[in-house]
Amino acid sequence: MFKSFQLKSCGAGLLGYRWEAENPVAALCLLHGIGEHGGRFDRFAESLKTHGISTLSFDFRGHGGSAGKRGHTGGRKTVLRDADSLIAYARAAYGELPLVFYGHSFGGNVLLEYRLRGRLSAVPAAYIAASPWLALCRRVPAWFYRFVKALAKLRPDFALSAGINAAMLGNAQILESMRGDRLVHNKISALTAVESQDAANALMNRQIADRHGGGQKPLILMHGTADGICSIEATRAFAAAEGAHCAMIEWENYLHELHNGGPDDTGEAVQEKVAELVLGFAGKD
């Protein structure tokens, strides 16, 4: 079970989560997806604890227990500074203990940009992006993107439907156990949607320079072959362009939330693989 804390960032108090392993050998900093919150990763983080890995996360603005209009994470610079705050908190909490940065879906989108632009991007030993938002499976018409971009200038926090169908997320048994979570919503603000898509396009087109050395750190990309939300083809293309310091792991028939299992299991294989990767990056394999 996690302990909560307040993550101070840009004048805001964001709800943080801490899963503390006994005598930890590594720490994982985790970014969640749109409409959810850090606490939804409880099963995942508890499994990492058994391997001596502590996990830290927080709720993005407009999500979970953090303040803000539902679905509105703030401007992209604010989002990246919030990620800075998580890394800084982890460094203060664990000293020189190896850190690995992990992001799921929207969190993977943020993580991949942070790796290149983040002020503390050289601190993590490695990065893991699971089902990252690099391209959506459902194509967004050009006219609708232009409309949302104009709307974002007038009403940046205007709430749109994120269009996430729970049946597309993961193992039905696991998702059923999470039903009724009042902190989960299906909203994304106009500004968050536009800036996330713009970041995805810039990443895919290699338009973001490595500012602080994070781009030289190892990168693992993970994606399920049956993901109907974020495109596995885009992740494959991104991995190929990244070259030798990047590896991709594909999970056959898995949906969007890899940590919540595939059609025939409840995610233990993914949890074990992540633990193996983190321990490897920490020099504990």
For 26-58, write each residue's pLDDT tens digit.
Answer: 999 999 999 999 999 999 999 999 999 999 999
- When pLDDT is cut at 50, 70 and 90, the band that residue 155 belongs to is very high
With 90 as the cut, is the pLDDT of residue 263 above it? no
* Token pair recorded at residue 82: 């919030």
Rounded to two decimals, the pTM is 0.97
Percent of the chain past pLDDT 90, that is, above it, reads 88
Q: What is the mean pLDDT of the chain?
A: 96
The string of pLDDT tens digits covering residues 111-141 is: 999 999 999 999 999 999 999 999 999 999 9
Distances (CA, A) of 13 to 7, 87, 191: 6, 15, 21
- What domains are defined for the chain? 3-281 (3.40.50.1820)
With 80 as the cut, is the pLDDT of residue 285 above it? no
- When pLDDT is cut at 50, 70 and 90, the band that residue 284 belongs to is confident
- When pLDDT is cut at 50, 70 and 90, the band that residue 229 belongs to is very high
- When pLDDT is cut at 50, 70 and 90, the band that residue 167 belongs to is confident
